Chain A
Amino acid sequence: MKNNKKTVIVPIGPYHPLLEEPEFFALYCDGEKIVDVEWQAGYNHRGIEKLSESKHWDQVTFLVERICGICSTSHPFAYCNTIENLIGMTIPERAKYIRSIIGELERIHSHLLWMGLAGHFLGYNTVFMWAWKYREPVLDLFEIISGNRNHYAMFKIGGVRRNIENEDIPKIRKMLAEIKGQLEMLIGAVLDDPVLTARLKNVGVLTKQDIKNFGSVGPVARASGVDVDVRRDEPYAAYPLVEWSVITAKNGDVLDKAVVRLSECLEAVKIITQCLDAIEGKAGEIGEEVRRVPEGEGIGRHEAPRGECFHYIRSDGANSPVRHKIRAPSYTNVPTFKASCIGQTISDVAIILAGVDPCYCCTERVAVYDAGKKKKLYDFQHLVELSKQKTERIRKEI
């Protein structure tokens, strides 16, 4: 990347309204093809691990919820699993079902958000509008159950904070049936389209060895054939009590990633329906009181929409953690750009970047520089335009 005179550097830089969160990538290009990728993060570093050492155990649940707005339940879920692993306790059964319902509803809304963004990067603005329109009933469901559209404050060490009332359940079922119909329509529309499949096939391929080297998890790994899913490998909450299956694909390109994510939405609807059947009309405790957290260390994890979310806690018996280590799933998924972008063209970069579904609170400004003259050639807006132009070209061919 250093010695080729014709190498052009394309920085995809921090603040851009189209990307979800700020990150910085520098792409080194040779003509149209990409030769190397460099990643700098930290534009949204808020010092949460250090803050967590000054809050007491119950307040940390609210702190980690605010790490991310899209996957806002994954972090409290993993944190509560960690403390319950440290103490060695189990939670009441009704709490298990409620936790799984919230986790799966979040999976649906996160994958629909991704679908909209991917459609936008390819030039399919209708997919963008419809996906986000079908996402609204899911957020309304959250408002009915928990009181807010984001940051649900439902998780507590030892259970959940609020109950799902029996009179709300028929309404939830009705909305879920509507969402299922709309999801099936959207999935059919996207996957049957020949232009989309031609555009996404064999783009950004990740092999099994790449997945192992970077430690990637979630739909990114499952799309390459690596069968890893925390809900099945180490069952927790209500996942061992209901019937569902893990979705994998073979090729590892962006089309497979889309297929895996959309099929997981339908599996999520199946899980929620079974959980609702299990709790409807019955009474039960929703939480156990935890007064003290003893000395020790614990590890807990949860399958977030983007992969495995991992928390580690060391405690010395006091009111706050001594060390709280958090690893979001995108930490291992985003570096796979080094493997998937090399050899691809600039017009595919936007969709490969989006295919990993990065969640780092980023809006980045992409800039393309000419290495010799250090003159800015393109920015991210133009890269998305290039991507849309390629889609048009393919459409004309078909």
Chain B
Amino acid sequence: MKKPKIRELKEAVKGIFSRPYTTKFPYQPHTPPPRYRGKPEYYEEGCVGCGACFQVCSANAIDMIDNTEKGNPIRTLIQHPSKCIFCRECERNCITGEGIKLTQRFDIAYVDEEDVLSSVKHKLITCLYCGTVIGTEKHLRWVLKRIGNLGFAQPVLLSQLMEELQVKTEYEEKGVPPIQRTDMLKVVCPKCRRIAFISDEKKEK
């Protein structure tokens, strides 16, 4: 065999005595660098349930389910890490900035998907007349806080403020559906508000 060259020999000797480049995971824990893009998680205090993450997700990994039956309307947002591509679009477009964030968790192998799903539930506000979804309660109150006094001009936001201050109107106490023009100040969707404003008729209970 020919004489090996000196610099390669030095590298070979260094290679024998240094430890291998791989880490010892899973026998020792491994911390990724600070800006690693790991599994996304929902944070209940920061999320207002607007659904922006659902609309911008590139891989359709977030499901938004609105359950409007039984008088207890709930919106559920579920994030599936099995479909996720870790692109950070959900975190970038979150309107509060604190609702969904990518953590540093990289070890998400699972047998049962329930163990790794991340989900959050919010109470929905629906139109009293036809039941259409207007938005979540937290989202409307977040908007009201941001626009301050201007909220008095919008009936839906104004009704949320009254609810927060726990001021009830007689119509809510008696449970009369909105048909007259005065019913405009209740929680109604834009379609029913138009009907109340334009029709303004009395109807039997």
Which A positions have Cβ atoms within 8 angstroms of B?
A: 55, 58-59, 62-63, 66, 126, 130, 133, 136, 143-144, 146-148, 151, 153, 161-162, 185, 188-189, 192
Task: Count residues of chain B with CB under 8 A from any CB of chain A.
Answer: 21
> Beyond A126-B12, A185-B8: 12 further Cβ-contacts under 8 Å?
A66-B85, A143-B32, A144-B33, A144-B35, A147-B36, A148-B36, A161-B88, A161-B92, A185-B7, A188-B7, A189-B8, A192-B5
B76 CB–A CB distance under 8 Å: no
- Give which listed residue, B11, B21, B33, B59, contacts A143 with CB less than 8 A: B33
Q: Judging by beta carbons under 8 Å apart, are A62 and B35 in contact?
A: no
Q: Which residues of A contact B86 (CB under 8 A)?
A: 147-148, 153
Bound: A58/B57 CA distance, A: 11
Q: Judging by beta carbons under 8 Å apart, are A153 and B87 in contact?
A: yes
Contact (A62, B87) CB under 8 Å given A130-B11, A185-B7, A189-B8: yes
Q: Which residues of A contact B12 (CB under 8 A)?
A: 126
Q: Which residues of A contact B92 (CB under 8 A)?
A: 161
Q: Judging by beta carbons under 8 Å apart, are A153 and B88 in contact?
A: yes
Bound: A59/B21 CA distance, A: 35
Q: Closest CB of chain B to A137's CB: distance in Å?
A: 9
B80 CB–A CB distance under 8 Å: no
Q: Closest CB of chain B to A273's CB: distance in Å?
A: 22
Q: Closest CB of chain A to B129's CB: distance in Å?
A: 33
CB within 8 Å of A: which B13-65 residues: 15, 21, 32-33, 35-37, 56, 58-59
Q: Judging by beta carbons under 8 Å apart, are B21 and A136 in contact?
A: yes
Q: Judging by beta carbons under 8 Å apart, are A59 and B7 in contact?
A: no
Q: Which residues of B contact A161 (CB under 8 A)?
A: 88, 92
Residue of A nearest to B34 (CB): A144
Q: Which residues of A contact B8 (CB under 8 A)?
A: 185, 189
Contact (A133, B35) CB under 8 Å given A62-B87, A189-B5: no
Q: Which residues of B contact A192 (CB under 8 A)?
A: 5
Bound: A185/B15 CA distance, A: 14
Report whether over half of chain B's contact residues are helix, strand or loop; otherwise say mixed: loop
Q: Closest CB of chain B to A75's CB: distance in Å?
A: 15
Q: Judging by beta carbons under 8 Å apart, are B36 and A133 in contact?
A: no
The 5 closest A-B pairs by CB, nearest first: A147-B37, A59-B58, A62-B58, A144-B33, A62-B87
Q: Judging by beta carbons under 8 Å apart, are A143 and B36 in contact?
A: yes
Instruction: Supply 11 A–B pairs (Cβ within 8 Å), ascending by A.
Output: A58-B89, A59-B89, A130-B15, A133-B21, A143-B33, A147-B37, A148-B37, A153-B37, A153-B86, A161-B88, A185-B7
Contact (A147, B21) CB under 8 Å given A62-B85, A153-B88, A185-B11: no
Q: Which residues of A contact B89 (CB under 8 A)?
A: 58-59, 62
Q: Which residues of B contact A126 (CB under 8 A)?
A: 12
Bound: A15/B36 CA distance, A: 33
Residue of A nearest to B33 (CB): A144
Q: Closest CB of chain B to A304's CB: distance in Å?
A: 21
Q: Closest CB of chain A to B62's CB: distance in Å?
A: 14
Q: Judging by beta carbons under 8 Å apart, are B7 and A189 in contact?
A: yes
Q: Which residues of A contact B85 (CB under 8 A)?
A: 62, 66, 151
Bound: A63/B85 CA distance, A: 10
Bound: A130/B16 CA distance, A: 12
Q: Judging by beta carbons under 8 Å apart, are A162 and B35 in contact?
A: yes
Residue of A nearest to B57 (CB): A59
Q: Which residues of A contact B59 (CB under 8 A)?
A: 62
Residue of B nearest to A147 (CB): B37
Bound: A58/B12 CA distance, A: 47
Residue of B nearest to A141 (CB): B33
Bound: A130/B87 CA distance, A: 32
Q: Which residues of B contact A146 (CB under 8 A)?
A: 35
Q: Closest CB of chain B to A367's CB: distance in Å?
A: 35
Q: Closest CB of chain A to B164's CB: distance in Å?
A: 35
Q: Which residues of B contact A58 (CB under 8 A)?
A: 56, 89
Bound: A151/B33 CA distance, A: 16
Bound: A62/B92 CA distance, A: 14
Q: Which residues of B contact A59 (CB under 8 A)?
A: 58, 89
Residue of B nearest to A398 (CB): B2
Bound: A386/B22 CA distance, A: 33
Name which of B5, B87, B89, B92 has the most chain A CB atoms within 10 A of its CB. Answer: B87
Q: Judging by beta carbons under 8 Å apart, are A55 and B33 in contact?
A: no
Bound: A58/B15 CA distance, A: 45
Q: Closest CB of chain B to A2's CB: distance in Å?
A: 47
Residue of B nearest to A156 (CB): B92
Q: Which residues of B contact A162 (CB under 8 A)?
A: 35
Bound: A55/B36 CA distance, A: 26
Bound: A159/B55 CA distance, A: 23
Residue of B nearest to A59 (CB): B58
CB within 8 Å of A: which B82-141 residues: 85-89, 92
Bound: A119/B35 CA distance, A: 35
- Give which listed residue, B5, B15, B35, contacts A147 with CB less than 8 A: B35
Residue of A nearest to B20 (CB): A133
Q: Which residues of A contact B88 (CB under 8 A)?
A: 147, 153, 161
Q: Closest CB of chain B to A286's CB: distance in Å?
A: 13
Residue of B nearest to A137 (CB): B21
